[in-house]
Chains A and B, each alone.
Chain A
Amino acid sequence: MQFQCDTTSRTPIYRQLIEQVRSAVARGRLQPGERLPSVRQLSRELVVNPNTIARAYTELEREGTLITQPGRGVFVAEPRNDLTKRGRQRQLEERLEKLVVEAFHLGFTAEELLALINKRIEQFAFASPTKSEANS
């Protein structure tokens, strides 16, 4: 996967990297078990201080998206959930609330909003319904 960094952006570089990794995992472009470039490699490639890369990796590791295997490298972690299904749902509903409020004030109808969501969902690597039942 190709990473990018943009110093004119108002998002700090380490944050940009975190968002790129999270998005790539969600879209299935990075698979669990897949190996990421080392801190040194990516630092050289992006021409960015290695500490900035390390900061992004550490953050992603802390939230469980990546896992470091000492001596082997950095990998995409298997999906795991520390929160209960209810906790996760509450988090999601909070975000959803904001989205719906925003859509309302921008003048969208409920049908339009749903259509947009459905269209966007196609780009992501969601688990199939049966599998997701089994996982939870």
Chain B
Amino acid sequence: MTDVIRTHGLTKYYGAKRVVDSLNLRVERGQVYGFLGRNGAGKSTTIKMLMGMVQPDCGSIELLGEDVATMNPATRARIAYIAEGHPLYNWMTIDEAVRFTRAFYPLWNGTLVEQILDHFELSRKQKLRRLSNGQRAQVSLALAVAPEPELLVLDDPTLGLDTVVRRDFLESLIQIIHREGRTIFFSSHMLGDVERVADRIGIMVDGVLRVDCPTDHFRESVKKLVLEFTGPVPEGFSCQGLVNCWTVGSRLELVLVGYDDQQRAAVEALEPRNIEVVDLNLEEAFIEYTRGRRRSLPLFAEEPRDDQSASDQGAA
């Protein structure tokens, strides 16, 4: 059993709106998975369902091989969760929060808590309500990793943090990654951070998981093409994997997913004077991909993984 997170046909409606649509998610042990999407794409709802805080309308979830709906507390104690905005009991001091949280877990690495509090120069006597956003993030990280969780789930952990605190937070995350076998699942809008830490990304668009692949694979798959024409720019171009296209003066700009020989042939058939293929960084690739014409968004989640996953996905 190497899958730490596994969902089958996970679906949630809010009223008539399907906010999460038949989600089949797989995250392997040891992976750092960046869960991306624009606001309202269904990320937080998915995370809340994973944590058992929102009841799915359809489908099931297994974490560490156990169904979330009937999970026993011992398994639950091997999972840590940092909610969006780092909610803490504001009337407690740091020390009280540490002792309070500790009572819920059989395993507790007190040295690690000390190290993190020390590293961030936080005193145990400080009241949580007096802390800055950055310090709250640091405290919730300390509380989350103290039970030595096998799975760490973070909902937009760097939201509202300044650049320096964000870098500190990422450094701590890297330290956690260094501990063997840890799995991290996090949502974020900071694509630079995602590129640094995530092995694999998933992108939700309108409740549907449209991308699920290694981080570099995604950015290498999305290309921008700039075609220049001497005569009029042709209209109504279409080919497989076309995400977006627009005309700028005598140029036609295309965004393509999975650029290959077939697409190249289709583009060359337009007989442009010049074709320039532009690589994109992760943020640019994400923007071009998610603002595209939604209905024709291509799925390219699949590239072979170690085991039977391909056939599995095919059946799904």
Contacts from A to B (Cβ < 8 Å): 5, 7-14, 40, 43-44, 46-52
A49, B281: Cβ atoms under 8 Å?
no
Q: How far is the CB of B82 from chain A (nearest CB, A)?
A: 18
B279, A10: Cβ atoms under 8 Å?
yes
**Interface residue B196 (Cβ < 8 Å from any Cβ of A):** yes
The list of the 6 closest CB pairs from A to B, nearest first, reads A7-B192, A10-B279, A7-B195, A10-B281, A48-B196, A12-B216
**Interface residue B219 (Cβ < 8 Å from any Cβ of A):** yes
State which of B178, B192, B195, B283 has its C-beta within 8 Å of the C-beta of A50: B178
Please give, as numbers and ranges, the residues of chain A lying within 8 Å of B193 by CB-CB distance: 7
In the bound complex, how far is the Cα of B279 from the Cα of A11, in angstroms?
A: 8
State which of A9, A10, A11, A47 has its C-beta within 8 Å of the C-beta of B167: A47
18 A-B contact pairs sorted by A residue (CB < 8 Å): A7-B191, A7-B195, A7-B281, A10-B280, A10-B281, A11-B279, A12-B216, A13-B195, A43-B178, A44-B178, A46-B196, A47-B167, A47-B171, A47-B174, A47-B197, A49-B177, A49-B199, A50-B174
Apart from A7-B192, A48-B196, A49-B199, what are 7 other A-B pairs with CB-CB below 8 Å?
A: A5-B196, A7-B196, A10-B280, A10-B281, A10-B284, A47-B197, A50-B174
In the bound complex, how far is the Cα of B309 from the Cα of A93, in angstroms?
A: 45
**Interface residue B32 (Cβ < 8 Å from any Cβ of A):** yes
State which of A7, A47, A48, A52 has its C-beta within 8 Å of the C-beta of B282: A7
In the bound complex, how far is the Cα of B279 from the Cα of A8, in angstroms?
A: 12
Please, which residue of chain B has its CB at the minimum distance from the CB of A14? B216
In the bound complex, how far is the Cα of B195 from the Cα of A71, in angstroms?
A: 30
In the bound complex, how far is the Cα of B42 from the Cα of A77, in angstroms?
A: 49
State which of B32, B178, B192, B284 has its C-beta within 8 Å of the C-beta of A40: B178
Q: How far is the CB of B247 from chain A (nearest CB, A)?
A: 24
In the bound complex, how far is the Cα of B199 from the Cα of A52, in angstroms?
A: 8
Please, which residue of chain B has its CB at the minimum distance from the CB of A40? B178
**Interface residue B114 (Cβ < 8 Å from any Cβ of A):** no
Which residues of B in the span 245-299 have a Cβ within 8 Å of any Cβ on A?
278-284
| Interface of B, helix, strand, loop or mixed by DSSP | helix
Please, which residue of chain B has its CB at the minimum distance from the CB of A10? B279
**Interface residue B72 (Cβ < 8 Å from any Cβ of A):** no
Please give, as numbers and ranges, the residues of chain B lying within 8 Å of A9 by CB-CB distance: 281
**Interface residue B220 (Cβ < 8 Å from any Cβ of A):** yes
Please, which residue of chain B has its CB at the minimum distance from the CB of A49? B197
Please give, as numbers and ranges, the residues of chain B lying within 8 Å of A48 by CB-CB distance: 174, 196-197
Q: How far is the CB of A2 from chain B (nearest CB, A)?
A: 17
In the bound complex, how far is the Cα of B197 from the Cα of A43, in angstroms?
A: 10
In the bound complex, how far is the Cα of B220 from the Cα of A75, in angstroms?
A: 29
Please give, as numbers and ranges, the residues of chain A lying within 8 Å of B197 by CB-CB distance: 47-49
Please, which residue of chain B has its CB at the minimum distance from the CB of A7? B192
State which of A5, A12, A13, A43 has its C-beta within 8 Å of the C-beta of B174: A43
**Interface residue B175 (Cβ < 8 Å from any Cβ of A):** yes
For B171, B174, B284, the residue with the greatest tally of chain A CB atoms inside 10 Å of its CB is: B174
Please, which residue of chain A has its CB at the minimum distance from the CB of B199? A51
Interface string of B170-186 (1 = CB under 8 A from A): 11001101100000000
State which of B196, B220, B278 has its C-beta within 8 Å of the C-beta of A49: B196
Residues A12 and B220 in contact in the complex (CB < 8 Å), given A49-B32, A50-B177, A50-B178: yes
Residues A44 and B282 in contact in the complex (CB < 8 Å), given A7-B192, A49-B199: no
For A5, A12, A13, A47, the residue with the greatest tally of chain B CB atoms inside 10 Å of its CB is: A47
A49, B174: Cβ atoms under 8 Å?
yes
